[in-house]
A and B are shown apart, each in its own frame.
Chain A
Amino acid sequence: MSNIIINAQSLKKTYKTGMVEVNALNGVDFQVRQKEFTAVAGPSGSGKTTLLNLISGLDTPTSGTVQLNQKEISSMSGAELGDFRRDHIGFIFQSYNLIPVLTVTENIEYIMLLQGIKKNERHRRVKKILSEVGLEGTGNRKPIELSGGQQQRVAIARAIVSRPNIILADEPTANLDSKTGRELLQIMQTLNQKLGITFVFSTHDHMIMSHARRLVWIHDGQIEKDEVREQPCQGG
């Protein structure tokens, strides 16, 4: 149990829409271990994004507990949670979520600025990471000047540049063509295998699912199936 880094117990999340209550998650137990490459799969509205939001502290559960490295998330202040995410969690969102008024370099640099990393080191890392995700020469462009695939690469660069322990990706390939999706998957696999970065991503992309070592099926706010594969597909 010592390598469990996220431990969610009896997670419930209810949204109120007018007079209607919707149970997005209904008593979910979910653990994430170090170095896992986990896909959370399920149809739209099944609770995938809600689960990712709750285990990263982006949202608060209606009931249940989330422990990050054995510390209860509800006991953390907003600033503590912010610091935690800044230092240990990288996010990749379906719609990239880059800051439109910042350039590619500035978007990638932002978390390092929050971490207080010196200018020279920041620039060195940005240069290196841009080359690694195949975006050399785009540093001064604004996100709007890039294609969807390029923007998602920037999002990946932003997520990994601060050297997080876990990356949470919410349907990272949903807005990309299959070729770009495969390329991004390969980057994620490389990061997982070579650096031991833990990946948890929600998806209904079969290609991504087929490469996950652990596949968690979620339906109507409950985990239906949690399977660990010995030999998932490799490469793109």
Chain B
Amino acid sequence: MILYKKPCKPTKFSSIVENKSKYAPPVAVYIKLAWRNLFRNKRRTLLSVLAIGVGIAALIFVDALLIGWKDNMIHTATATFMGQGQVHHKGFLETLEVDKTIDHPGKKINKLKSNPDIQQITCRTRSFGMIASPGNVQSIIINGIDPETEKNMSKLDEAIIKGNFSGKNNGHNKMLIGKKLAEILEVTPGDKVTLTVAQAKTGNTAQEMFRIGGIFEFKVREMDTSMAFIDLHQSQKLLGINKDVHEIAFTFKDITLSTQVNHPVWSLLGYSDIETLSWLELMPELKAMLSWLNVSMLIMTIILFGIVAAGIVNTLFMSLYERMFEFGVLRAVGTRPGNLAFLIVLEAGSLAVISAVAGSVMGAILVYIFSKEGLDYSDTEFVNVAIIDRIYPVMASHQFMIYPLSLILFTMVIGLYPAIHAAKITPAKAMKK
């Protein structure tokens, strides 16, 4: 038998409706409720967190991989041979006309050297030519280079797979040719080839015999098939351009400076017939490729986000609709509709926060591991840029801000639907569910 001792005294009924009591939404208890509800079905919540977290981790990883990929392509494109910026006579790049030279290159080089952002500089000649061996004939682009300065500028030294390139040998000039060109000409290091070029001013042809000093492989078809390198001074003599050059290539101390369109280097030389171009202008196809990568990332983000969103919607709706009865009880005992909606959105937000944290941790681990190991995409070529080095994903702060925060925001917006539904439904109807 229960003995009822001192019951609570009820308030006067005259205060009904007219005298509303002060209302203080108990946010702390809603947070507690949301949190406990989330762990009510631990297995389901864990699976949801895992599924959503994997989605976030995938987004972070793909983003990091694409940054690494872009960096790799830019580095490969600029470091293979091109450099990050080049100086030419205006119109030279369109025709490779021998006459369109840069005269007094020393002055220009000194001017470039005066800029503290410049790291390496080299001079080159470039012209069309015809190479003939006993086995075949091929039209090529012949590059005259200074082996000493070129060493710091390009990866030519690293690309040599047979022989070497050190100027003259046994009275014959040495030439470096691409692997595929060597196959076409059926030559190996030590074999003789004849190079024919058109000379400046007169347009007369000049011919000289070279011995194959080495064979290089950049793994870029165009370079390996139709490029050859000879000594700068020999090429100047052969082309009849005295001390002039066709190209001054340079690199910056920091590659990001090369994409700054307002950098003083681009207008430093100040000659009306000379142009200074960045790698973005020299390789518009690479620029387009990088834009395409950004679009790809956006599409991938949308798809992955869609998958993650479907998981969230499923979990949230399953969890909320099966508890509609409880929401009815909360409404019955005096919870305002708006506060019930707040509770549900809070619950959705809590799921998103846990998933975002889990996803970020998984993503960070994944990116960290692969940023140490790298991914091997060698032998792959995009827009004449070969992936030579391994691709190392790059961790960036935006990956841990944009994706997790978007997910949390998105989940809370999604959570609004069941929240509004639960807030609008009559308590009696909810309690029948």
Contacts and interface: CB of A to CB of B under 8 A. Distances in A.
Interface of A: 5, 34, 53, 56, 58-60, 68-69, 71, 76, 78-80, 82-88, 91, 93, 97, 99-102, 106, 110-111, 113-116, 125, 128-129, 131-134, 153, 158, 160-165, 183, 186-187, 190-191, 194-197, 236
A69 B16 contact: yes
Contact of A114 (B26, B37, B337): B26
A161 to B, nearest CB: 7
A71 B19 CA distance: 13
A60 B26 contact: no
8 contacts: A59-B428, A131-B5, A132-B4, A132-B5, A163-B10, A186-B2, A194-B7, A195-B7
Contact of A102 (B2, B4, B14, B33): B33
Contacts of B426: 58-60
A101 B333 contact: no
Contacts of A53: 427-428
B27 to A, nearest CB: 10
Contact of A87 (B7, B11, B329, B331): B11
Given A102-B32, A114-B25, A115-B21, 16 more contacts: A58-B332, A59-B427, A68-B17, A83-B21, A83-B336, A86-B21, A87-B11, A91-B332, A93-B431, A102-B33, A102-B36, A114-B333, A131-B5, A165-B10, A194-B7, A196-B10
B336 A82 contact: yes
A121 to B, nearest CB: 11
A68 B334 CA distance: 15
A58 B18 CA distance: 20
A-B pairs, 4 with minimum CB distance: A86-B334, A59-B428, A116-B24, A101-B36
B429 A191 contact: no
A34 B10 CA distance: 12
Interface in B1-56: 1-2, 4-11, 13-18, 20-26, 29, 32-33, 36-37, 40
B326 interface: yes
Q: Which of B22, B337, B424 has the most CB of A within 10 A?
A: B337
B331 A82 contact: yes
B2 A183 contact: yes
A113 B17 contact: no
A132 B333 CA distance: 21
Contacts of B6: 128, 132
Nearest to A85: B334
Interface string B373-406: 0000000000000000000000000000000000
Interface string B409-430: 0000000000000011011110
Contacts of B16: 5, 68-69, 71, 84, 87-88, 165
Contacts of A128: 6, 8
Nearest to A80: B17
Contact of A164 (B10, B29, B338): B10
B2 A125 contact: no
